[in-house]
Structure 1
Amino acid sequence: MKFTMSRNVFLAELQTVQRAISSKTTIPILTGVKISLDSEGLTLTGSNADISIETFLSVETEKADLTIESTGAIVLMSRFFGEIIRKLPEDQFTLEVLESRQVAITSGKANFTINGLDSDNYPHLPVVSTTNQMQLPVHVLNKLISETVFSVSQHESRPILTGVHFVLADNSLLAVATDSHRMSQRIIPIQQGEDFNIVIPGKSLTELSRSLANDEEMVEISIMENQVLFKTQTLSFYSRLLEGNYPDTNRLIPTSFNTTIEFSVPSLLSAIERASLLSHESRNNIVKLSITSEAVVLSGNSPEIGKVEEALNYEAVTGDPLEISFNPDYMKDALRAFGDMNITVNFISPIRPFTLTPTEDSQQFTQLITPVRTS
């Protein structure tokens, strides 16, 4: 195998597949990146126990400036190889597989010779059935992930909660995540695909979102028994699915409320950020919201540092007076998921979960936060 191409273009592909490569794997060859070259272009593959990423660079891609002299395949240790490519002196480099699986990398006056591994020993990627498939615009999938994935649990004590629950039924796709203290749920209408009910690890979705190029238009999603494949023209991203039954989160969302208030997200987010400057210095990290018909006041208190109090700007308030305490970090995550819009925050009581929904379209997107009980 021998080819010459743009170092920066190759490096971008390599960095994408390196997201799936772990130095802690018990299978030594999986610490490497598989490089395959045929007459149509260059394929890079990285994998660990949870995700596998494969990128394809066509020989016709102008910016790659790919010249193929001979085809073949090799596996190279990802970390050293990546550092070598990153530090090469010229814009172009040549990679050639020599005898005994040694690999020569040349750029300008720099010449490296490193040891490779037999690509035949690299595990095969899962074979994907084409029966259960659907398509989404890349920007829609990325938005779906950003609106939910931050609510997955970071603790392995309940593994199923470390994933996002996806359900396709009745021409709508539901994505929901919860760590039992907060919940994020988004519903989008969709007119295709067989019904499914799966849980995808949150870490996989975060890496997927980082790997999907914004210039890609559509992503094809294929579901197998214990794997899901996200495929674009240049990327194949495989993730294992989590086993087990996801809890019924529908019953968590209240349907009637005693106090309702409408905010502009940027204004409320700025105030929460100011209040959390002090709450972060306190052991309990909570802020308090006091609502009356005359004023809405946000306050934070750290015995070691001091206190903060701010009267909030709001659009409208209805219902009973209320004092409620909550984790400001949960609130900030939820607000950032909405972006620049008006939201309605709905309360039942100081000890019951409250919801945040878009004022214009309250049915499709819901954030739920459990308050903190204070004595």
Structure 2
Amino acid sequence: MRFIIQRDRLVHSVQEVMKAVTSRTTIPILTGIKITAVEDGVTLTGSDSDISIQSFIPIEEEENEIVEIKQSGSIVLNARFFGDIVRKLPMDTVDIEVLNGFQTIIRSGKAEFNLNGLDAEEYPHLPIIEEDQTFKLPADLLKTLIRQTVFAVSTSETRPILTGVNLKVEDDELICIATDSHRLAMRKAKIDNKVVGSYSVVIPGKSLNELSKLLDDTNELIEMVITENQVLFKAKNLLFFSRLLEGNYPDTSRLIPNESKTSITVHSKDFLQAIDRASLLAKEGKNNVVKLTTLVGGVIEVSSNTPEIGKVSEELQAESIEGEELKISFSAKFVMDALKALEGTDITINFTGAMRPFIIRSLHDDTMLQLILPVRTY
């Protein structure tokens, strides 16, 4: 195998596939990047067996030559060393040649590296995915869906299914739900093309975080393909595979209360900053608790009291308070995460009592919902 390639494009592709490579793997060859050169371009593949990323570099783009293929073939090179080498090469082009015995020579200007490769035949094959059911979403919308839900997945492996985001597709609507059993984030979005049948799959939160880093904030369409145990996201010159989590995602619809006893509308940024200040004196971890109390005249009080540290209270003018008086305690972190995810300047919080879950929504956007369980304080 031998090809000459623009260094910048190679570095970009290496960085993309590196997101799937981990040094903590029981399969040694997966610490490498698989490089395959064929007549129409070069493909790089990285995988940790949960996530696989494939980046394709075409021989030319917009009539600019990017790669010159001298001889087709494939090799697996240690990801860390190869990544470091190509990033620091002196010239704009790189010449990569594989000799007998998987010896790989990387040349650029007067620099020449000799790297021991591995047999690409030993590299695990990517899943073959039947593409009979696909739907498309703009990249920026997909990024937003991930950002507004993935933070609520569980970080504990005691219930592995909760470490993923439940993605449901029905007709022309996509619903993303994440919960760690103390809070829940939900976001809905319309899909342009009608989907036959319905789906409900759970994608690991880790996979979605990595996917989000790869996507650009553009309205370029990303194609999604769902199978029994894999999901594939296809962007231009990029394939992102992730395994799905096995098991049934809990039915979260019954957690969401349909009535409310107290409803508060407040400016999101002011509320977020007040909670942030109140949490300064709340202990980290489990005791990161802030209390909200409704007062007369549409005022809410945000306070925190940690006997050994001190206490803080702040009054905030709400835009409206309807219903019963309320005193409720909650995790400052959970509410701040939820407020950061919601887009909109004004939010409505619906409470059904001091010990019941409460819901935060943007005032003018019903596609999104954040639900939080209060904290019991004695």
Q: TM-score range by the shorter chain?
A: over 0.9
Cα offsets for 1:136-159 (capped at 9, x unmatched): 111111111111111111011101
Q: CA deviation at 1:9?
A: 2.3
Partner of 1:57: 57
State the 1:48 CA deviation.
1.2
Please point out which of 320, 343, 346 is paired with 1:342.
346
Map of 1:200-211 to 2, 5 A cutoff?
Answer: 200-211=203-214
- Contiguous gaps of at least 5 residues in structure 2: none
SS in 2 for 1:80: helix
1:25-104 alignment runs, 5 A limit: 25-61=25-61, 65-104=66-105
Residue number in structure 2 paired with 1:255 = 258
Alignment CA distance shift 1:277-1:130 (3 Å) = same
Q: Which runs of 4+ in 1 moved over 6 A?
A: none
Distance 2:102 2:221 in 1: 38
TM-score with structure 2 setting the length: 0.94
Q: Percent identity?
A: 48
**Greater alpha carbon shift after TM alignment, 306-315 vs 147-156:** 306-315
Offset from partner CA, 1:223-256 (integer Å, 9 cap, x none):
1111111111211111111111111100000011
Q: Mean Cα displacement is larger for which, 210-219 or 288-297? A: 210-219
Asked if structure 2 preserves the Cα contact closer than 8 Å seen for 1:9 and 1:64, the reply is: no
Q: Which consecutive residues of structure 1, in runs of 5 or more, have no partner in the other structure? A: none
TM-score, structure 1 length as denominator? 0.95
CA–CA distance in 1 between the matches of 2:284 and 2:56? Answer: 48
1:120 matches 2:121: yes
Q: CA deviation at 1:93?
A: 2.2
Equivalent residue letter for 2:137: L
Distance 1:253 1:231, change over 3 A: same
Q: What displacement does 1:64 show?
A: 7.4
Helix, strand or coil at the partner of 1:155? coil
SS at match of 2:22: coil
Residues 176, 281 of structure 1: alpha-carbon distance in 2 compared, 3 angstrom cutoff:
closer
Q: Deviations over 1:250-296 (max 9, x none)?
A: 00000111111112222211222222222145861111111123221
> How far apart in 2 are the matches of 1:313 and 1:112?
65
Residue 247 to residue 283, structure 1, CA distance change in 2 (3 Å): closer
Partner of 1:367: 370
Q: Does 1:293 align with 2:296?
A: yes
Structure 1 residues 64, 368: CA separation in 2 closer, same or farther (over 3 Å shift)?
farther
Letter in 1 for 2:116: N
Q: Is the 8 A contact 1:103 1:116 kept in 2?
A: yes
Q: Secondary structure at the match of 1:312?
A: strand
CA offsets 1:99-123 (integer angstroms, 9 cap, x no match): 2111111222221101001111111
Instruction: Please show how residues 178-217 of structure 1 align to structure 2 within 5 Å.
Output: 178-190=179-191, 191-194=193-196, 195-215=198-218, 217=220
Q: Give the total of aligned pairs.
A: 374
Change (3 A) 1:242 1:52: same
